Amino acid sequence: MSVIPFYAEQAGECMLFEHAWQQQLPLLIKGPTGCGKTRFVEHMAARLKRPLVTVSCHDDLSAADLVGRFLIGNGSTHWSDGPLARAVRMGAICYLDEVVEARKDTTVVLHPLADDRRILPIERTGEELAAPPEFMLVISYNPGYQNLLKGLKPSTRQRFVSLSMNYPSSQVEVGIVQNEAGISEAQAKQLVQLAKALRALTEHDLEETASTRLLVSAGRLMASGLPLQLACQAAIIDALTDDLATAQALAEVVHALF
Ligand code: ADP
């Protein structure tokens, strides 16, 4: 039996995921980086006992990277499934992380898979894969730092059930940081208190703010014995900015609190 990865629920999202899966509806998860999207999908795949195929999308990722391509070897060519085709054949949960980063031609293969046809046409081989009921397509994106042109087209997003995620409530976040980093509740509370202060700062034009992931990293450094201030400098402040003045302003928040 595989272990179910720890996931602290925020607000009913586990039930939503399960119903979407049962109803064979694809899911779009929106939320800032480091708020738990990937962990959530890992947790749900394990709970539903489905294999998980994750693809981190980037600006060079094409439809062929997802679907597959002919490879040449030993004097002959053979077809090699890409991760999406593999996931469809296995009835897996396929998670496309940061999907808006991918090349535009990927929407051509996602659309028939994401509506009620639930098919993946493989143009190169002429095959048309019908997704089994267990298959689920999950995509995520971070609405915060996308430039406007990169947003999802309405024709794409309307095929998906949407879930908005954000950083968890303080109480939930303390539990996460404590559990993930292996620190005391008091230490986790300090980090969450700091995150709240940093997140409230709007005047510093940061692309991202202190995420749960960064708090967990700081907590890990503390668990291995690094003092709080050093851990926060390395895992939170310097991870957020290269700008000296901004880093100083953030460091002042740390000093003011502790
Ligand atoms: P995202 O995919 O949104 O960028 P991740 O799922 O990778 O974020 O989360 C980053 C880290 O934060 C995880 O590895 C985990 O340690 C922690 N984390 C965030 N949210 C949760 C949560 N709700 N339950 C458990 N761990 C969480």
- Does the CB atom of residue 218 touch ligand 1 within 6 A? no
pLDDT at 203: 53
pLDDT, one tens digit per residue, over 26-58 is 999 999 889 999 999 999 999 999 999 999 999
- Alpha-carbon span 193 to 206, nearest angstrom: 19
Question: What average pLDDT does the segment 215-220 reach?
Answer: 98
By C-alpha distance, which of 189, 223, 222, 192 is closest to 233?
A: 222
Establish whether residue 36 lines the binding site of ligand 1, counting it when its CB lies within 6 angstroms of any ligand atom: yes
DSSP code of residue 236 = I
Measuring CA to CA, which residue among 194, 75, 68 is closest to residue 129? Answer: 68
| Dist CA 157 CA 153 (whole Å) | 6
What number of other Cβ atoms are within 10 A of residue 86's Cβ?
17
Structure letter (DSSP) for residue 125: T
More confident call, 144 vs 160? 160
Q: Which of 225, 226, 224, 222 is nearest to 191 (CA)?
A: 222
Which among 6, 14, 28, 39 is the best mutation to test ligand 1's pocket, defined by most ligand atoms within 8 Å of the CB? 39
Distances (CA, A) of 257 to 122, 173, 194, 200, 216: 57, 18, 7, 14, 18
Percent of the chain whose predicted confidence (pLDDT) is above 70: 95
Residue having the nearest C-alpha atom to atom 9 of ligand 1 = 36
pLDDT exceeds cutoff 60 at 204:
no
Q: Whose CA is nearest to atom 23 of ligand 1?
A: 8
Q: Is ipTM over 0.90?
A: yes
What pLDDT was estimated at residue 105? Answer: 87
Check: CB of residue 33 under 8 Å from CB of residue 142.
yes
Ligand 1 lined by 35 (C-beta under 6 Å): yes
pLDDT exceeds 60 at position 238:
yes
* Average pLDDT value for residue range 218-227: 97
